[in-house]
Structure 1
């Protein structure tokens, strides 16, 4: 189709209008409170934080968000989809909040508003080779990570890596390492421990942390009232002992940021 310059301008203005309209659909806290329901998105592929058991979305973050929403007086409608699409959907108004083990980074904070962190963790080296334990051991090696995770950025700071290959799901990265296609896998330390426990015959060697990060939920950029309401409810969950009980059940320790 041939289009004049004026026609192209009209198309561009129309496209911009659609984008702004989509962005404007993000619900504020008053609207959410009136509806009595918050729409929360997660991945569902990152055990023990968020995963499916018998077609039911569950995990530490799922249960935690349910506790927080209850404090807010809200029911939860869950959405599950690919990790790299989660934050983009916030500013399109597709859901109100995301909880999926996102590490707080400056780059992400330019696009979304983070809540206060609900746990602290970090990337850890996992391999079938017991000699690969620390960041220095990865020189000349190929490493698997998940697409859209902060691990890709962190690994880019390490000198001498042969290759960093990313995969749509963290479980895909683990499978690639186990199959011998790559030398190591970098993932969250609690994910690594859970994987080693669930696959004792796989010979997973869990090494050392290569960085530490604060993990938080996120809302649309500038949706401060919702973030503040969530933070207040999260503090109440911290204070009443329910967070500590949940954390002990999943990890045998309190994983909140010290």
Structure 2
């Protein structure tokens, strides 16, 4: 037997430790919490999807025009894109309406195959899922009750109560803003933006932080009820989220979005649902 020299053994031990550490660092986590254990099927999840003949997507069907319920059916921009992708794979598409606060853990316990539901790319989420390239964009903003002029800048949130949606990009960004500006701001997070809007309308909070696209729909539904107080210098890019282990599915989604962009179909659908074509990173 050939003995390994002590120095070589030490180097090997450090190399193995580094490899183990890297593997551990790559384990999916969300805000420091490990995701439920998941192992991709041996032939890949794409083969499994094609064998069952159905692609299942997790959505929050309270976010028009991305996804919402109309006449008992989930419809919207994301749904049309998901249906096109499913057809591209040769399968049907089934959306599953789910609570946004638990949508990523639900992905890992295999309630669905992907999240194509206007999910904003954030650093904490990058630790949990693989994001596709962006397929839509939006801008964060703060709204108040109509006629309220007490909030004109970010600093004016000091001493106020700000509402948003639990586990949304808006909540993550609001926490960052409060910390960066050292604000004494109470942050209330609701399961859905609709509850935050209602609390604002009823005078229970001073403001809500959401995005332009979300608020545009709100303003159409409740004209004259709210005003935009501050447009935040935060532009949100949204993308499709897949489990980190499902590299075949993430690659297929990304290639499909590239095809939609190149053909002009993505801009066409953005115009159909939002009234304009969005600016996306190259």
Same fold (TM > 0.5): yes
Residue 36 of structure 1 is matched in structure 2 by 53
Q: 1:39 to 1:211 in 2, by over 3 A?
A: same
Q: Which runs of 4+ in 1 moved over 3 A?
A: 24-27, 203-207
**CA contact 1:147–1:167 (8 Å) conserved in 2:** yes
Which residue of structure 1 lines up, in the alignment, with residue 112 of structure 2?
Answer: 95
TM-score (norm 2): 0.78
The equivalent of 2:39 in structure 1 is 24
What is the CA deviation profile of residues 64-108 of structure 1, one whole-angstrom value per residue up to 9, with x for unaligned ones? 222232233331011111101211111112210012222112211
What pairs with 1:170-209 in structure 2 (closer than 5 Å)?
170-205=193-228, 207-209=230-232
**DSSP 3-state at the match of 2:236:** strand
Question: CA 1:120/1:161 → structure 2, altered by over 3 Å: closer, same or farther?
Answer: farther
- TM-score, length of structure 1 as denominator length: 0.85
Once superposed, what is the RMSD of the aligned Cα atoms? 2.0
In the alignment, does 2:155 pair up with 1:136?
A: yes
CA contact (8 A) 1:69 1:75 kept: yes
**Alignment check: 8 A CA contact 1:121 1:214 kept:** yes
Question: Conserved in 2, the CA contact under 8 Å of 1:24 and 1:92?
Answer: no
* CA distance, structure 1, for counterparts of residue 83 and residue 229 of structure 2: 31
* Number of the residue aligned with 2:65: 48
SS in 2 for 1:257: coil
- The residue that corresponds to 1:108 in the other structure is 125
Distance 2:140 2:103 in 1: 20
Aligned to 1:153: 172
Secondary structure of the equivalent of 1:140?
Answer: coil
Residues 193 and 206, structure 1, Cα contact 8 Å, conserved in 2? no
Distance 1:84 1:256, change over 3 A: farther
Deviation at 1:153, TM superposition (A): 2.1
Partners of 1:91 and 1:221 within 8 A in 2: no
Q: Distance in 1 between matches of 2:187 and 2:233?
A: 15
Q: CA deviation at 1:131?
A: 4.7
The alpha carbon displacement at 1:58 in A equals: 1.1
Name stretches of at least 5 consecutive residues in structure 1 with no aligned partner: 1-18
Cα deviation, residue 25, structure 1: 6.8
Cα contact 1:144–1:182 (8 A) shared by 2? yes
Paired residues of 1:247 and 1:254 also in contact (CA < 8 A): yes
Q: Within 1, Cα distance between the matches of 2:233 and 2:153?
A: 7
Counterpart in the other structure of 2:33: none
Is the contact made by 1:192 and 1:206 (CA closer than 8 Å) also made in structure 2? no
